[in-house]
Every structure is written in structure tokens, then in C-alpha cells.
Chain A
Amino acid sequence: MTALTELTLSQALQQMREGALTSVALTQAYLDRIDQLDDTLHAYLTITRESALAAAKAADQARANGDDRPLLGVPLALKDIFSTRDVETTCGSKILQGYKPVFSATIVERLEAAGMVLLGKLNMDEFAMGSSTENSAYSITRNPWDAGRVPGGSSGGSAAAVSAGMAAGAFGTDTGGSIRQPGAMCGIAALKPSYGRVSRYGVVAFGSSLDCPGPMARTVTDVARLLQVVAGYDPLDSTSMTLDVPDYVAGLTGDIRGLRVGIPKEYFIEGIQPEVEQAVRMAITQFERLGAELIEISLPHTEYSLPTYYLIAPAEASANLARYDGIRFGPRQELGEMWPTYKATRGQGFGAEVKRRIMLGTYALSAGYYDAYYGKAQAVRTLIKRDFDKAFQDVDVIVTPTAPTTAFRIGENTADPLQMYLADIFTLPASLAGICGLNVPCGFDSEGLPIGLQILGAAFDEATVLRAGHAYEQATDWHSRRPML
């Protein structure tokens, strides 16, 4: 690893501000690193080399003229779910092969306005449906800590790129854990903001009531810096909130004395990898040492999260994915007549997991089944949300494992969808509740694979979650370990 790509986002920014580093040098270092590693890791789907170098050059010139925008010259990469004007956006699917949007997602606009240098687009499970990035229609991303293992998913490309030093930071999306779980498996800081904190406009939809774009980086400070740029109301997203956005970086005081930390018993269950539980318990004692108050809590409806999620998310997806018909964009299997063309276009364009979820969702919404499935799931979702509402009356954050296991082997869970779905068992409840959650590294298992700690906060209280994660990070050095590549 070259020195430049070892810098955290905040360090690199500081050096550029001091004139010790140019964006062109930094960008070139990342591009070299991508060239060196990505043939093995397959984190990227598109590398925007030329436009990245041009943007870096422009950033250096702007800085020379006194410009100091928050991300000026910082090389980032984006999950291929974010619409990027004129840059192919596939969402990991054949059905969007060659699709170049005519507009950019709001968060892309905001990152560009803040001075970002875009390195490229990152691999993902097709339409963000998966927990291992094995469902990508293009390639299987490898875990930088062990190339025989998955990086988690669906934002596996984002997690792997950050972990391997192929981007200073990245953005992913989290519908049921797709930022936090790969964050845990790749050993990085990764935040799912509260639903409504970050605009979804231009983010290819999976589960509209669940999808949350969020930052992934090497430190909590970097994550806070990235969130700062993208958070806040967007008039193009009616579900984004008009709440004020606090100064997240300024809130990272390192002081969590008196912080009330909830420990939910439902998250320490049979089937959890013992080393994961051990690391998380150790982390909890670390919080205590930092002056936090530990409180046992109960989130009684936790066990219903998985079935609830797998009714709501596929139901929404079944409608969201109806637009992929080959009529206006994407490849079309032209068979002359309308219905054969539809069937062939969608039949060949979607992968197996996407088809499975479209069928699940279509069934759940069908006349005669709606009340029993979708309707019931919404009712249970309310109960899950109430669990958290109640808990957050007594605690400031809730600490749990992010995933029940460390990264599993490629192919290990592909034959059994249910086993794969269990990888998100600890991240699903917060998604259903719309609250925020941060993964921070909290140890390694005996195979040298990272273990993630999940810190959950009340809706729109990202500041407290980041403060807690940052304080923990300051007190430990798990985050500074990098994979040997």
C-alpha cells in the first residue's frame, strides 16, 4: 500500500489544505491502487479515470484560487445504484447494462458541489438484493481480508474499495443492512442514516420505505464529514425531512461520559458466532470504561423483523422494478409482439434473486393475500418501531453485533436463500424502524476477519451515534488495521 492511499479521508483533506498534497497526486495514487488490486477484488464496475483526473486537476486549481469546499479534491466512489449523469449506472443488473442517466442523484449533485473527485462506480448485489455481492450480474467482489470470502452486501463493492484503499470513502445504500453488514465484514466505519435524513432522489429504488443512502469510510470522522455534505432536505424527495442538520464533525468530542447504552437481550442469541459475541461484549465493557452507563433492554418484536422485512421490501420492489421493460432504457429483447418482448426482456434481464423477490412481493400484494401478508407486515413494523421508541426513552444508543458471523466463504450460502437472509438479522429491525445505525470495527476472529459493532440511535440522532462510535474508535485501534494486500 502506498502512503497516500493509507491516509484517511480527513488526513488527506488536511494535507491538501496545507498544500502538502495535490488532488491529482492523490487521485493518481488511488487509480494506481485500483489498477493494482481490482483485477483480484472486483470492487469496481466502472472506473472514471479520465474525468477523475480532470476533476482532480480542476480541484487543485480551485484550491490555488482559495477554494476550500468540504470535499474539494477528495477521491470517492459510489455504489452503482446512484444515478450519475452520463456515467453508466447498472445497479448490478443486466437489465440496466449500458444505461447512462441524463441526470444525477441529489447526493451526487451535493458531493460534486462539495468538490468530490469521482473515481468510479462500485459493485453490488443486483438491485441491492443480497448480503454478499454474489448476486451482481457482473462479478463477485472479494473480501480484501480474504479473497476467498464475500465482502458482505449489498454494498460489498463500496466496503471492499474503502477497506482495500481503493477510495478515500464511498457511498452505499442500506435497505435491510446493506451498508452496515458489509461495513462489518470489511472492517470499516459505515453509517445507515435515519430514513429521511438523506435524499433518495436518483437512487435506484429497491424498497422505497426502507432505502437509505449513507457513507462508508475508514474512520467515524470521515463518515461524519461525508454525511455532513449529503444530509438534509431535498425538495425532490417528499420523504426527506426538513430538520436542521447539526455539525457532525464538531460533535465528535470523544466524551461519552453518562451516555446511556442499551444492550438488547434479543441480539445475543443462539447461532451467533462465539468470537463475534465475545468481541461485542468486550466492546460493551469498553463503553463502560469510557464512562457510559450500560442498561439491559428488551426489543421484544425483534424476532419478527425477518419475515416482516421479507414481505415489505419485496412488495415495494415488485412495483419499483416494473419499470424495467426495455421500452425507454436498457436492453430490449425485441420479439415483435408486446407480451413476448416484455417477458423476454425481464426474463433475461433479471437474475434469480431479483425474480424471487419480485414473485414474493407480487404474491404479498395480490387480492386476497394483501391483508394477511403486506397489511400484517405493516402492523408488525409498527410494533417493531414502538419497541425502539420505547427503548430510546431510557437509552441514548443501543449496541449490538452488526452481523451474526464474520465474512463467509464465496458460495457458502448461495444455495440457501434463508441462510443468506439471516446475515441481516441484526440490521433489519433498525431498517424497519427507520432509525440510524453505525458499524465500527470491534475486533477480529481467529481467521483474521473483522468483526463489527452496531451502534443504533434514535431517528435523526446521527450525531449521538457518531459521537459514541468516534469515542470507541479513539479508545481502540481496530479501525487502523488494514488488510495485507
Chain B
Amino acid sequence: MTGWKPVIGMEVHAELETHSKMFSACPVVDSVTAPPNTAVDPVSLGLPGTLPVINLQAVEYAMMVGLALNCEIPPVNQFARKSYFYPDLPKGYQISQYDRPLCINGWLDVEVTPEGGEPYTKRVRIRRAHLEEDTGKLTHVAGGSLVDYNRAGVPLLEIVTEPDINSAAEAEAYARTLRSILQYLGVNSGDMSKGVLRVEPNISVMHPDDAEFRTRTEVKNLNSLRVLFRATEAEIERQIGLYESGGEVQQATLGWDENKNRLVVQRVKERADEYRYFPEPDLPILEISRAWVAEVSAKLPELPEAKRARFMDELGLNAYDARVLVMEQAVAHFYEAVLAAGANGKSAANWITGSLFSLMNANGFNREDIEKSKITAQQFAELVKLVDGGALNKGTAATVLNTMWETGADPARIVEEQGLAQVSDTGAIAEAVARVLAENESVVQDYLGGKEKLFGALMGQVMRAMAGKGDPQVIKQTLTDLLEARRG
């Protein structure tokens, strides 16, 4: 198995969340939940005589993505017809772009964290990104197939990389980074399970002796980043296995079977596809002025990479925390709301990436669902401030956070109702320390005799005696003072 190098290019189809479809005023709806064929009009049904009109909002969204991916936006754009027959394609051709796409020659830097390896940055070149219209959806039922055209005509941006990706981890990192950008731009929810973002790796493997690429396969139906990773890894292994056992890879489209947890061959391609592209005569050439590009460029929001740099520079976060806080836009939103509510940046980062993420993991919450928990950013900020202000110690705070997760109550109220406020009163602490020392005379003797590790045990006894509410700093100081006093 050694020596083989995976060569992967990615094709990503991202639906653009415009109000209306790519070529008509027909509204765009959630095609998973909306009743079938309720968001259709003569244009999206391809009725005879209907004509397309370009949705300029979709063009602008696509430009935003292109600019975020460091692409050139050529001044002359053209749509083309891509012909093939299928019942989910109303016109028998898809209006797409062929030799004059909207965005070309970009790149995206992605941070890759291989399993058991050091993180590194990989530059993935973007070959092109072009606009097209989505197809409808077929559902196979007993005795036939049903077609739903709600999705037909929804603006779709196809983003194609150069074959720069060399592992499943890189493929996943690329998709994760791209998804994050799409979310930050507000053009796509990133929900792979609903098919609004479809990530399709084109995979081949290369032997050190190879002068050119080998046959590649395309993997589809990947409904999460996790599945993308697993399917990519499985396909790389399958291809290497085939070659090592003297076999050949056939050009094919594969899909991930969710139930069987494995790849299945969907279609073997025996010859090149024949799409008979030609310029769409119903649409004039779309000229994109430099002024328009500049205008869109100026409107771009802060993107994950810039936000990460800012978190590190302005708030002093470490690289890891900064990355996990910006990767999901929802997390970044939450974090920034916590900051806005007055919490300290570093403390808030620690509490989110530590305790809150643990709670979310334990409860099956994805990172992007952070704002769906019962804890508001305002409440979370209050908790951080209680700890930073010395009113709660960390252990108690974790308990309070658990209660907040369960009930959604304000931290101050939980502290008050459960009497969890940290005790910093030196009198109460001195009393507790004296009692513990008196009750553990032998331990004290051992400590004084040189077993200094026993300090921790005594510390713990005092904490327990104070039901965890004592301020650890004050306890530590008092305990030290009283023990040293015993030395005489």
C-alpha cells in the first residue's frame, strides 16, 4: 500500500439562498419540507414558450463566493445549454455556463489536522465557479417514479478545484472551510443532509512511477463531512487495493450507502458524456463591470480567516481556540455575542471550547446548533463574569453550567437558589481549615515530616468541608499559613 498518492479534485454544488429561482420570479422554498410541486411556475416547469431571465441576486452571491475564493471575475460571462434527457430536467437541457464561467483561477488555504499528525496549511487551487440551475427531484415508489419540481431552477453554484487534494483529511478540511465561507457570506446554510450543499470528490491514485493521472471515479450522495471523509478514504483504499491485486479502476460514479456504510457503484461510464453545449440563445452575454465587482467586494463580510486573525491579535486567543471558534459561523456568532455582553475574551473562549462543547457533544448537539441550546449568550457571559469576578469557583461553575443547560435559568439565580456562591470570607475559611487540621493530625504530621504532596489531600478536605464553595486561592493561602505556623 505504500507509495500510492491519492489525487483528488472536488466538485461542490452549492444552492444559493436567493428569494427567487435562477431564471424566474418563482420563489425558492425548502425543497425537503415543502409539499411537492408547490413552488413552480411556467418557467421552472419548462412549459413551451417560456424564457429565462437572469437573477442578478444569484450573480451577486456567486461573485461574493468567487471573491472570497480569490477568483478572477471575467468581464464577459455567458450561459450555455447542457443537453441531456432526464425527467427531473424540465427543458431537456440545463442552463449552465461552459467556456465563459463567472469565476476563474482562485485558491483557498485550508488547515488540515490529520489523525495523529501535526496540523498544516494546504493551498487548494480553484479552477472555476459557475452558475447554473438545479434540477427537480425524483422519488422512486412502487410502480413508478414521482417528480418534484420545487428545486428545479434554484440557483446553483458549481465550484471546481484543481486536483490538488491528496488525502481524505484534506478533502474534508477543504469542504469544511468552503462551507464555513458560504455560511459567513450568507449564501448557503451548509446543510449537507438537505442537499443544499453537495460535495463530490473526483478520486484517483498515483504511483510514484506514473507520468500521468490514472482513471478517476466520482463519489456522490455524501450527506455530511464525516461521510465525505469516510467515503473518500474507502475509495482511495479500494483503488489501491484494485491496483495492488492486478486489477483496474473503471471510470464510474459511486455513491455512499448510508445503511450499509459502504460505497456502491451507481453508474459505470463507458464513454465520455455528450452534452452538446452551445451558447444559450435566450440570454444575452452578461457583462460584469469592474465597478460592480468593486461594489460586491466592498460588501463582503468578515470571513473566517480574517476573524480568526482578529481573535488572535485583539483577544490573545491561541490558534486552536481561534480556529474552532470561527469555523462554524454559529459558534462565532455566539462567541461574539458573549463578548458583547461583557465577558473576557480568553475566559469566554475557554469556557466555550471546553465545558460548553463537552455538554454539546454529550447531548448530541452539532457545533452549528450552539444557538439552539437553552443557554443564551447573555447568560453564558454572566457565568464567565461570575467566575472571573471570584464569585464562583471553576468546579461550581461547571455545575451551574450543567443546570443552565438543563433549565435555561440565569446563572445568578441558580447560584442563589442552590447557595453555591463562592466563600472568600477569611474567617469562615480559617475556621474550616483549623477544623480539618485538627481532624487529620496524622496527615499534618506526615506533611510536616516532608510528605509535601499531602498538601493536596488537605486542600481537598477543606474544599469538601466547605461544600466546594470556598475560594481555592484563599483556602490555599490560609492552609499554607496555618501549616507553616505549626512548624514553629
B-binding residues in A (CB < 8 A)? 82-83, 89, 91, 96, 99, 101-103, 105, 200-205, 207-209, 235-239, 315-316, 318-319, 321-323, 325, 327-329, 338, 342, 362, 365-367, 370, 374
Contacts and interface: CB of A to CB of B under 8 A. Distances in A.
Interface string B25-67: 0000000000000000010011111111110000000000000
B21 interface: no
A201 B147 contact: no
A102 B45 CA distance: 11
Interface in B115-129: none
Contacts of B93: 319, 322
A166 B405 CA distance: 80
Contact of B85 (A237, A238, A325, A370): A325
Contacts of B53: 235-236, 238
Interface residues of B, number: 30
Contacts of B145: 338
B195 to A, nearest CB: 21
Given A236-B51, A342-B85, A319 B276 contact: yes
A207 B282 CA distance: 10
Given A101-B48, A365-B276, 12 more contacts: A99-B48, A101-B42, A209-B281, A238-B54, A239-B282, A315-B278, A318-B276, A319-B91, A322-B85, A327-B87, A328-B90, A342-B85
30 contacts: A83-B48, A91-B48, A102-B47, A103-B47, A105-B49, A203-B49, A204-B48, A205-B282, A237-B51, A238-B52, A238-B53, A238-B282, A239-B284, A315-B278, A318-B83, A318-B276, A319-B93, A319-B278, A322-B93, A323-B48, A323-B92, A327-B87, A327-B147, A328-B46, A328-B90, A329-B47, A365-B277, A366-B274, A367-B272, A370-B278
Best-surrounded residue of B42, B49, B278 (most CB of chain A within 10 A): B49
A365 B278 contact: yes
Contacts of A202: 49-50
A323 B46 contact: yes
A371 B450 CA distance: 93
A83 B91 CA distance: 17
Nearest to B37: A328
Given A105-B49, A205-B48, A323-B48, A338 B87 contact: yes
Interface in B267-320: 272, 274, 276-278, 281-284
Nearest to B149: A328
B92 A325 contact: yes
A319 B51 contact: no
A102 B40 CA distance: 12
A125 B51 CA distance: 22
Given A208-B281, A238-B52, A101 B47 contact: yes
Given A209-B281, A327-B147, A322 B50 contact: no
Contacts of A204: 48-49
A64 B318 CA distance: 83
A317 to B, nearest CB: 11
